[in-house]
Chains A and B, each alone.
Chain A
């Protein structure tokens, strides 16, 4: 069966909903479909806690936000994109305010802003410590008022249909019934989020399996800067639940096993009782996570069944401040770790959190494939460079979600074409593949969960906070073997109704492709920059690598890495300085 829309938005998170609304508002009467593998309000944007950056304070300026972003990204950001980003971010956040987002306020009723890691000024808007939750529900509820926005809730997109050099739709499985359907469109916007689940220990939800990256990669769009994986310094051990940076912004300390604020040993400034912006605990995430690894090496961390940890100390903040500014942190600690941060130390360790890289797009979200757009964490515009600053991602998905939505609407209006016959037969092939090779595949001797676990441990061991050429090369081999094992996996579940195992198999296949691109890009980048730290190349090398990596899928499935120069407008590459 085939249905068609003008635009398909794959993904119902912050980026997807914002793009859908923007498209609906740009061209009246346009028909937009939001296809999401979970109900939109379940998307991972819901988990974001700390806030969203947008310069509005009187002592702040767009240039300072741009500079913090660019230096935080170790000069790998495209500066034209950053300039657009910082200019539009406050507007988008304001629009969310008009749509009902319950931003926290100052006593006089104006928006309140808080400090955040790596930001020199207070510019992070927040809705207590459930910013992403409120942002996503505001967007979702607002989207309900647009008649032109049609939702496919709990549909999994398994393939992009590309022919004649342009994208023409998707093939998707309706989870509840197992129906495999072709949905054609004149433009497709990917907003499927990141791929944290490639790693074993992550803050990311179960759904963050890099599907969109794999879809684009297989459809011929390159993946940019995939080697840059952000570790957040403070995750709860075992669950990987994130303790937001706001906990440090409000004055939390990081202590090693001797109760010592160890960050002072790593060029991050000198300890002060109250937080100082861009210093100590408010340094950028990559540096904090790296400092942790050094503490492990020095034997100054605390051992637990779930690996080494350090302590986050919030006790001196007092119950009152914690309950008003960080209620969710306290709730999470109590509910999932059985710890009360008002009286106890919170064990934390670095945890995979965010993918800086993603589908290569221009500043309008357009990918090199005609009609294919991407926005949000799945995309790499790039404003995050080698390391994203906390609270830049929520505004990113609003700003570039909007731009992609608008650009896609105009694309449909100006260049929209009907699907070709070839695409429909492609769709039929994909249907047959899902049916025969996956669902009805017999006689396999592999378990999906076993392959997934091997992939995750391989990634952690070789592409973690510190990497080396040897370990990466070995990882590339292992991933190749796993790719060969995957077709031998058989499903226990042959049912059509809500077959989560089928989805798990498709997700695993996406994750393997993405993992290969991460390892290939990391292997080629022989320098250390931001979140990519090579033990065999410890210095930054602007001569060779002030460039974006582009992972391109070859016809045989292997990964080729090209480079693209970084756009520099006003800020020449300099040294990243914190704590001074």
Chain B
């Protein structure tokens, strides 16, 4: 327990304020905000995905129309930007997994690098599988 008279102690303190633009003040903060904004593009893609699924369920005509919609330059542009953010999301997410989830094998902590590497391997395998499933080759 610390003995300090709050009344006198607080008087005269300079209380710094964080500016609204704090996330522009350091590269690491900016990266953080960009990483957080990736979620917006994830949400966008899920909506996009659901539209696609709905079109497929509604029949071939709708499917063709969806493909036309997707080929609209503006939509392509949005998806291009989205891809950049989604990749940022994937990379940062993989980096932090070993920090949050220390794995142990036979009493020893698995080195973080190994966890990250195996995530990438898993990612590639799943992506290849999805590719095969969707495209058919």
A151 in complex: contacting residue of B2, B8, B9, B12, CB < 8 Å: B2
| B interface residues with partner A (beta carbon < 8 Å) | 1-4, 8-9, 12
Least distance between B71 CB and chain A CB atoms (Å): 58
- Judge whether A176 is part of the interface by a CB distance below 8 angstroms: yes
Q: Are B9 and A149 in contact (CB under 8 A)?
A: no
Contact A150 B1 (CB under 8 A): yes
Q: Within 8 Å of chain B (Cβ to Cβ): is A425?
A: no
Number of interface residues of A (CB under 8 A): 12
- Give Cα distance in the complex from A176 to B7, angstroms: 12
A177 contacts partner chain B, Cβ-Cβ < 8 Å: yes
In the complex, number of A-B residue pairs with CB atoms less than 8 Å apart: 20
Q: Roughly how many angstroms separate A147 CA and B3 CA in the complex, as a whole number? A: 12
Sample 10 A-B pairs with CB under 8 A, ordered by A number: A33-B3, A147-B1, A150-B1, A152-B2, A152-B3, A153-B4, A176-B4, A177-B8, A177-B9, A179-B8
In the complex, what distance in Å separates the CA atom of A3 from the CA atom of B5?
12
In the complex, what residues of A have CB within 8 A of residue B3's CB?
3, 33, 150-152
Q: How far is the CB of B14 from chain A (nearest CB, A)?
A: 11
Contacts of B8 in A (CB 8 A): 177, 179
Closest 5 CB pairs between A and B?
A151-B2, A150-B3, A177-B8, A152-B3, A150-B1
Knowing that A177-B9, A179-B8 are A-B contacts, what are 18 other residue pairs whose CB atoms are under 8 Å apart, sorted by A's residue number? Answer: A3-B3, A33-B3, A147-B1, A149-B1, A150-B1, A150-B2, A150-B3, A151-B1, A151-B2, A151-B3, A152-B2, A152-B3, A153-B2, A153-B4, A176-B4, A176-B9, A177-B8, A497-B12
Most buried by A among B1, B3, B8: B3
Q: Which residues of A contact B1 (CB under 8 A)?
A: 147, 149-151
Shortest Cβ distance from residue B108 to the other chain A in the assembled complex, whole angstroms: 14
> Chain B residue with minimal CB distance to A177?
B8
Chain B positions within 8 Å of A150 at CB level: 1-3
Contacts of A33 in B (CB 8 A): 3
- CA A70 – CA B1 in complex, angstroms? 40
A397-426 at interface with B (beta carbon < 8 Å): none
Binding site for B on A (CB under 8 A): 3, 33, 147, 149-153, 176-177, 179, 497
Look across to chain B and name the residue whose beta carbon is closest to the beta carbon of A1.
B5
Query: Distance in Å from the Cβ of A185 to the closest Cβ of chain B?
Result: 13
A149 CA to B1 CA in the complex, in Å?
7
Residues of B within 8 A of A153 (CB): 2, 4
- Bound together, the chains give a CA A153 to CA B2 distance in angstroms of 7
Distance of A6 Cα from B1 Cα, bound (Å): 16
Complex: how many Å from CA A292 to CA B1?
Answer: 48
A179 and B3 alpha carbons, distance in the complex (Å): 13
Complex alpha-carbon distance, A220 and B2, angstroms = 31
Q: How far is the CA of A151 from the CA of B3 in the complex (A)?
A: 6
| B4 partner residues in chain A, CB cutoff 8 A | 153, 176
- The residue of chain A having its C-beta at the shortest distance from the C-beta of B8 within the complex is A177
Contacts of A3 in B (CB 8 A): 3
Chain B min CB distance to A315 (Å): 28
**Using Cβ atoms and an 8 Å threshold, which residues of chain B touch A497?**
12
Report the Cα distance A153→B3, complex, angstroms: 8
Taking CB atoms, residues of chain B closer than 8 Å to A179 are 8
A578 to B3, CA, bound (A): 51
Select from chain A the residue with minimum beta-carbon distance to B11. A177
Complex interface: chain B residues within 8 A of A149 (CB): 1
CA distance in complex: A497, B13 (Å): 10
CB distance from B107 to the nearest CB of A (A): 12
CA distance A152 to B2 in the complex (A): 6
A40 to B3 CA separation, bound complex (whole angstroms): 13
CB distance from A171 to the nearest CB of B (A): 16
| Residues in A neighbouring B9, C-beta threshold 8 A | 176-177
B43 → chain A closest CB, angstroms: 44
- Cα–Cα distance between A51 and B8 once the two chains are bound (Å): 42
Please indicate the chain A residues that have their CB under 8 angstroms from the CB of B2 in the complex: 150-153
Complex: how many Å from CA A149 to CA B4? 14
Name which of A150, A176, A179, A497 has the most chain B CB atoms within 10 A of its CB: A176
Cα distance A497–B12 when bound, in Å?
9
CB proximity of B6 to chain A, nearest CB, Å: 11
Q: How far, in whole Å, are A177 and B4 apart by their CA atoms in the complex?
A: 10
Query: Nearest Cβ distance between residue A143 and chain B, in whole angstroms?
Result: 10
Complex Cα gap A146–B4 (Å): 17
- Per the bound structure, the CA–CA distance linking A179 and B1 in Å amounts to 20
Once bound together, how far apart are the Cα atoms of A3 and B3, in whole Å? 11
Q: CA–CA, A152 to B1, complex, Å?
A: 9
**Shortest distance between the CB of A176 and any CB in chain B (Å):** 6
Taking CB as reference atom, which chain A residue is nearest B2? A151
| Cβ of B52 to closest chain A Cβ, rounded Å | 54
A184, chain B: closest CB distance, angstroms: 14
Q: Smallest distance from the beta carbon of B109 to chain A beta carbons, Å?
A: 16
In angstroms, how far is the closest chain B Cβ from the Cβ of A78? 37
Contacts of A176 in B (CB 8 A): 4, 9
Write out the residue numbers on chain B whose beta carbons fall within 8 Å of the beta carbon of A152. Answer: 2-3
Measured between alpha carbons, how far is A212 from B1 in the docked complex, in Å? 24
CB-CB nearest in chain A for B1: A150
The residues of A that contact B12 with a CB separation of less than 8 Å are: 497
A152 to chain B: closest residue by CB: B3
Closest residue to B9 on the A side, CB-wise? A176
Considering only CB atoms, which chain B residue lies closest to A3 in the complex?
A: B3
Per the bound structure, the CA–CA distance linking A179 and B8 in Å amounts to 9
Tell me how far the C-beta of B1 lies from the nearest C-beta in chain A, rounded to whole angstroms: 5
Measured CB to CB, the closest approach of chain B to A3, in angstroms, equals 8
User: A33 CA to B3 CA in the complex, in Å?
Assistant: 9
The answer for the CA separation of A517 and B78 in the assembled complex, in Å, is 80
CA A150 – CA B9 in complex, angstroms? 17
Tell me, in angstroms, the Cα distance from A441 to B38 when the chains sit together: 63
Q: How far is the CB of B99 from chain A (nearest CB, A)?
A: 21
Query: How many angstroms between the C-alpha atoms of A98 and B97 in the bound complex?
Result: 33
Q: How near does chain A come to B18, taking the closest CB pair, in angstroms?
A: 23
Report the separation of the CA atoms of residues A150 and B4 in the bound assembly, to the nearest whole angstrom: 10
What is the bound-complex CA distance between A458 and B8, given in angstroms?
A: 42
CA distance A365 to B9 in the complex (A): 35
| Min distance, Cβ A222 to any Cβ of chain B, angstroms | 32
Compute how far the CA of A177 lies from the CA of B13 in the bound complex, rounded to whole angstroms. 11
Tell me, in angstroms, the Cα distance from A497 to B9 when the chains sit together.
10
* Bound Cα distance from A33 to B8, whole angstroms: 20
Complex Cα distance, B4 from A29, in Å, reads 21
Interface centre among B4, B9, B12 (most CB of A within 10 A): B4
B114 to chain A, nearest CB (A): 20
- State the CA gap A497–B8 with chains docked (Å): 11
Chain B residue with the shortest CB-CB distance to A154 = B4
In the bound complex, CA of A147 to CA of B2 (Å): 10
